[in-house]
């Protein structure tokens, strides 16, 4: 594996999603509960909800944050250090467009929550009653700074680019260590793609081989998404992976409705999934 060439086909990306958390450890209530039950002071911790009663705008912004984080993980590959992940340049445009869209939606929902925050805070004052403490709540003017999405893009390191004022033998030793690390990182990234595909196929096989087993439409759509995505993430150019992805297309040709009602087709697809799983086992 020529990692120097691979370093031109991918970058590293990191994402930091910040948001105010409406939960707070209440030392006073925890002590009261422990005393009531004659327990030690460290027997438990009472974490109170600062927005009880259901705050839809708060839930919506955090749900969007989770959606953004899921998109980030689905469209990148693992990188073991520094909280970053590998983004192949073949998937860069799709990733960037998706992150921009989801970030806009996150920021819009954050503004909606901030607009409702004073009302939610007053509701909490009534609902929490004796547990309410004004110091648990940031000022409205400060809340906007609690929500942010930061994306950082960095170049992948290349062993051949390592230059430092040391003896040649030491430079070569460090370059060798860096080369080994890069090989391990890309091997792990490649394994991640195989694992994703294997799990999706195994889920289809497991569900469809049981005649009456119920399943959601995502059983098929998850594999469809992977079949479309993996060619852009296959930064190592693994020909076996490309070939298996092509074979997986046959598992997505029938609709979930057909697979629920047509027992013959269901059995055929289950058998095809079994055969593909066996093929994949030779490469994993």
Q: pLDDT for 3-54, tens place per residue?
A: 556 677 888 899 999 999 987 655 555 455 545 555 565 555 556 778 877 7
pLDDT of residue 130: 79
Give residue 166's pLDDT band: very low, low, confident or very high (50, 70, 90).
very low
pLDDT of residue 73: 96
Q: Of 66-75, 175-184, 252-261, where does mean pLDDT reach its minimum?
A: 175-184
pLDDT of residue 177: 59
Q: pLDDT for 112-155, tens place per residue?
A: 999 999 999 998 888 878 778 888 889 988 998 999 999 999 88
Work out the average pLDDT over 204-232.
95
Does residue 229 surpass a pLDDT of 70?
A: yes
What is the distance of C-alpha 58 from the center of its chain? Answer: 21
- Angle formed at CA 70 by CA 64 and CA 74, multiple of 5 degrees: 145
Query: Which has the closest alpha carbon to 217: 265, 252, 249, 248?
Result: 252
Does residue 94 surpass a pLDDT of 80?
A: yes
pLDDT of residue 164: 45
Does residue 160 surpass a pLDDT of 90?
A: no
Share of the chain above pLDDT 90, in %: 58
Residue 107, classed as helix, strand or coil, is helix
pLDDT of residue 244: 96
Q: pLDDT for 41-87, tens place per residue?
A: 555 555 677 887 778 999 999 999 999 999 999 999 998 766 789 99
CB within 8 Å of 59: residues ≥ 6 apart? none
Q: Dihedrals φ, ψ of 13, to 5°?
A: -130, 145
Work out the average pLDDT over 201-228.
95
Give residue 165's pLDDT band: very low, low, confident or very high (50, 70, 90).
very low
């Amino acid at each position: 594996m020529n990692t120097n060439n691979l370093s031109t086909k991918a970058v590293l990306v990191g994402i930091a999603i910040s948001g105010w958390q409406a939960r707070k450890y209440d030392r006073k209530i925890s002590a009261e509960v422990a005393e009531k039950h004659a327990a030690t002071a460290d027997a438990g911790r009472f974490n109170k909800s600062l927005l009880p009663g259901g705050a839809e705008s708060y839930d919506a912004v955090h749900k969007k944050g989770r959606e953004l984080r899921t998109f980030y993980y689905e469209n990148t590959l693992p990188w073991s250090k520094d909280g970053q992940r590998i983004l192949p340049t073949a998937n860069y445009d799709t990733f960037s467009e998706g992150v921009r869209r989801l970030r806009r939606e996150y920021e819009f929902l954050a503004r909606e929550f901030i607009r409702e925050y004073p009302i939610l805070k007053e509701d909490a004052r009534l609902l929490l009653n004796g547990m309410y403490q004004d110091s648990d709540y940031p000022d409205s003017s400060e809340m906007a700074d609690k929500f942010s999405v930061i994306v950082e893009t960095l170049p992948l390191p290349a062993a051949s680019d390592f230059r430092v004022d040391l003896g040649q033998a030491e430079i070569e030793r460090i370059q060798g260590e860096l080369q080994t690390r890069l090989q391990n990182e890309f091997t792990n990234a490649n394994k991640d793609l195989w694992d994703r595909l294997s799990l999706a196929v195994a889920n289809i096989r497991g569900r469809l081989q049981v005649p009456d087993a119920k399943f959601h439409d995502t059983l098929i759509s998850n594999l469809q998404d992977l079949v479309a995505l993996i060619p852009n993430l296959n930064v190592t150019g693994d020909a076996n992976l490309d070939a298996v992805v092509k074979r997986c297309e046959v598992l997505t040709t029938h609709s979930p409705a057909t697979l629920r009602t047509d027992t013959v087709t269901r059995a055929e697809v289950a058998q095809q999934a079994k055969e593909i799983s066996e093929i994949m086992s030779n490469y994993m």
